[in-house]
Amino acid sequence: MTDSQAAAPTALDPRPALASAIVDTLVHRIGKDAQAARPHDWLAATILTLRNEIIERWMESTKAAHAAGAKRVYYLSLEFLIGRLLRDALSNLRHNDEVAAALASLGVDLAAIEEIEPDAALGNGGLGRLAACFMESLASLDLPAYGYGIRYVNGMFRQRLDDGWQVELPENWLAHGNPWEFERRESAYFVGFGGEVTATTSGQVHWSPIEAVEAVAVDTPMVGWRGKRVNTLRLWNARAFDPIKLDRFNAGDFEGALAGQMRAETLTRVLYPNDSTPAGQELRLRQEYFFSSASIQDIVRRHLQYFGDIRTLPEKAAIQLNDTHPAVAVAELMRLLTDFHELSFDEAWEITRATFGYTNHTLLPEALESWPLPLFERLLPRHMQIVYAINARLLREASKVDGIDGNAIAAISLIDEGGERRVRMANLAFAGSHSVNGVAALHTELMKKTVFADLHRLYPDRINNKTNGITPRRWLQQCNPGLTGLLVEAIGEDFKDDAARLTALAPFANDSSFRERFAMVKRSNKVTLSTYIKDSMGLTLDPDAIFDVQIKRIHEYKRQLLGIVEAVALYDQIRSHPERNWTPRVKLFAGKAASSYHTAKLVIKLANDVAKRINADPAVGDLLKVAFVPNYNVSLAEKIIPAADLSEQISTAGMEASGTGNMKFALNGALTIGTLDGANIEIKDHVGDDNIFIFGLTADEVAEKRASGYRGRQVIEGSRELAQAVNAIASGVFSPDDPDRYKGLMDGLYEHDWFMLAADFDAYAAAQREVDAKFGDTAAWGRSAVINVANMGWFSSDRTIGEYAKQIWGVM
């Protein structure tokens, strides 16, 4: 497997060679022969064999960057939601057919072993998955880059549904070992916590931490499209310096002897399962500092090794902060530059700001990270001093600007003085970066107007937009081979190298025979998904019904509840008017709720209660089915998205920063029903108003309504359909075992309805009836679906990364 371009057999048929290479790996690396091998052994042998080629390309990439003296991109993220890697690597190296044939000759089914690879689920949702798409695009665009994060032993929890309630189980993705990773014992760093700071008379500052762990690098190769480049994802593992205290052990104190190791391991044990709200625990701040410190030390070490002079750091390193989770890295770099490299504060600050960029992912005020000052100071006493010094400088600068008054100063400060004093990580990240970006056009505009209004007045050139994207390799080529094959037949292979070329598909929207084949691909994907749902949940679906899908983290602002209430209303309508020509509909939900988010968990239970009742009612039969598919993750998304007809993107306007699932669906030929929120707006601009179903309040209207004391009651009482649905749920129609289960949830809609569910309900229901009508017109629906695919190339993460590279990082 040396030629990345061609899978075709050469004169010397490579198949037997490849098959024997896999068997050789199986025997010598796994220690099993072909007779004894279990599926996991075949998986490991296949990965290890493929890895040889990846390693060679990896080394070439590293050497080339070094030889060129290239600037490197460092993407710091507490989350990387990678999913499986085998299919991704095979497909990007274009070895799929070859490896499938070699395994088949050994009696092994490639698809079956791909399916048992565990998901690397080191993330919660969109933010973590974006980081994974970015890593793939960085390699595909041949940009030298490192991702830095934490190697959690237990990533995202596995979700089980017990009688419709979410139960969280630990996911042990490393149970069978991880053939993709390489531990780098030589890349290990000291990370300290606590203790005290002293200063000599000459001003030399010395921090003596009271506690320390060692951060050890574990590297995973990230293969770009066509194997052009292989970059490194470097995840940190924590180890005690002294794994066992022998004196204690010998004295009989076995637990005490191992306590240090336990404490270190706890640091990298679990991913906090919070999405869009900070975890707030001390362990979380420790995780943030642990990985930020190790990463910054590693970056500085590499820079000095290659370039010698710390002053040239911004010319050779661009560090991007994925949200504020790594924001303490700003203070850490300042510490290294001033305390160890003896730069003046001013010079260090200039270098720091020129090196960092910060990406914001949410405006939810409760989601902005801040740490109680006493906690921050106790854990990071030297960083606390640095934060104060940065703040003094920042506020001095601010006070010189016209129009910045006392209130603005308070908002700009790195220290929140209202109530318990707290360190504001977003302000630290903003102040310490030369670029601050939002993730969709509307989101970026709202950043300027709301949370960052005063910092924006102070630094009006800093905020910029980088609309999110998704990698079309995983989210089209790999997850939807049927559609990919059809696209190749129609417009050739060009789109695989440049997603913008998908526009060549536009004329085919008017070609009825193409539309038929397009519809056949969609139907076949729906049959495959139906089989999965039948096997895993015992529910039979009609593949000719419209597959209406809402899959994402469960959050009130994402309004899964709106989708459920509408399903209940539709159920009423179908029963009351059985004579109407209803479009058969399957409503699919999936997603995890943070373990402490009670309302989100109740919404999951409601979806399940509603599903149970509707699916068992002969009065609706196949006209309406509802399913909540358990354990949503990247691999499940890869199964569901290619089978979707309708993509639900129905957040309260102004609240979803971007969304990225919305892009995946449209790229796979689903039409969107959505609000004017996040990237939905840009999707609408690209696919055209006739090919998307937009409804509901705008962000401005939501803000106005909230300001004028809106309450849901009036709206509910004025809408028959909504009132019936809400009252049915509230009175226990769907929860006869506990009639009051949803009373509080429904009261919330009457009393405050912060997320404007009632306000948007009628518009949403009307849009759904438009959906029904259009789905019945096969030609019209097919035309719109094809136009969606043709215009989604712009949402490739290659485009996004190209913008970051040119406008923020200066590497293109």
- Binding interface with ligand GP0 (CB under 6 A): 124-127, 130, 275-276, 361-362, 367, 439, 468, 656-660, 678
- The phi and psi torsions of 591 (rounded to 5 degrees) equal 155, 160
What SS3 state is found at 204?
Answer: coil
Comparison of 367 and 549: residue with beta carbon closer to ligand GP0:
367
Alpha carbon distances (Å) from 233 to 81, 230, 256, 423, 749:
12, 10, 34, 30, 45
How many Å apart are CA 686 and CA 794, to the nearest integer?
8
Comparison of 438 and 712: residue with beta carbon closer to ligand GP0:
438
Comparison of 49 and 444: residue with beta carbon closer to ligand GP0:
444
How many Å apart are CA 99 and CA 106, to the nearest integer?
11
Question: What is the nearest approach in angstroms of ligand GP0 to the Cβ of residue 78?
Answer: 10
Closest CA to 441 of 254, 657, 715, 588: 657
Are the C-beta atoms of 576 and 605 separated by less than 8 Å? no
Question: What is the nearest approach in angstroms of ligand GP0 to the Cβ of residue 679?
Answer: 7
Torsional class of 83: left (φ above 0), alpha (ψ -120 to 50), beta (otherwise)? left
Going 332 to 333 to 338 to 340, the CA torsion angle's sign is positive
What SS3 state is found at 55?
Answer: helix
The two structure tokens encoding residue 491: 């417009």
The two structure tokens encoding residue 49: 């064999």
Closest CA to 181 of 191, 173, 169, 189: 173
Alpha carbon distances (Å) from 263 to 69, 213, 287, 337:
40, 9, 12, 29
Question: What is the nearest approach in angstroms of ligand GP0 to the Cβ of residue 470?
Answer: 10
Comparison of 658 and 796: residue with beta carbon closer to ligand GP0:
658
Comparison of 126 and 144: residue with beta carbon closer to ligand GP0:
126
Question: What is the nearest approach in angstroms of ligand GP0 to the Cβ of residue 16?
Answer: 46
Question: What is the nearest approach in angstroms of ligand GP0 to the Cβ of residue 329?
Answer: 18
Comparison of 83 and 678: residue with beta carbon closer to ligand GP0:
678
Residue 557: burial class (beta carbons within 10 Å; 0-12, 13-18, 19+): middle
Residues identified as active-site:
361, 552-553, 558, 660, 664
H or E element: which one contains 600? Answer: helix 598-615
- 531: how many CB neighbours lie within 10 A of its CB? 12
Comparison of 626 and 679: residue with beta carbon closer to ligand GP0:
679
Comparison of 660 and 672: residue with beta carbon closer to ligand GP0:
660
Are the C-beta atoms of 397 and 414 separated by less than 8 Å? no
How many Å apart are CA 533 and CA 526, to the nearest integer?
10
Strand order in the sheet with 72-76: 182-193, 211-223, 230-239, 145-150, 72-76, 317-322, 356-359, 435-438, 463-465
How many Å apart are CA 333 and CA 299, to the nearest integer?
10
Comparison of 127 and 590: residue with beta carbon closer to ligand GP0:
127
Comparison of 113 and 657: residue with beta carbon closer to ligand GP0:
657
- 803: how many CB neighbours lie within 10 A of its CB? 18
Question: What is the nearest approach in angstroms of ligand GP0 to the Cβ of residue 129?
Answer: 7
Sequence-ordered alpha helix ranges (H) in 308-405: 313-316, 328-335, 345-355, 373-379, 381-399
Q: Are strands 205-208 and 196-199 parallel, antiparallel or unpaired?
A: antiparallel
Residue nearest to ligand GP0 (CB): 126
Q: Residues near 486 by Cβ (< 8 Å), separated by ≥ 6?
A: 517, 518, 521
**How wide is the angle at C-alpha 371 spanned by C-alphas 80 and 678, nearest 5°?**
50
The two structure tokens encoding residue 542: 């009609």
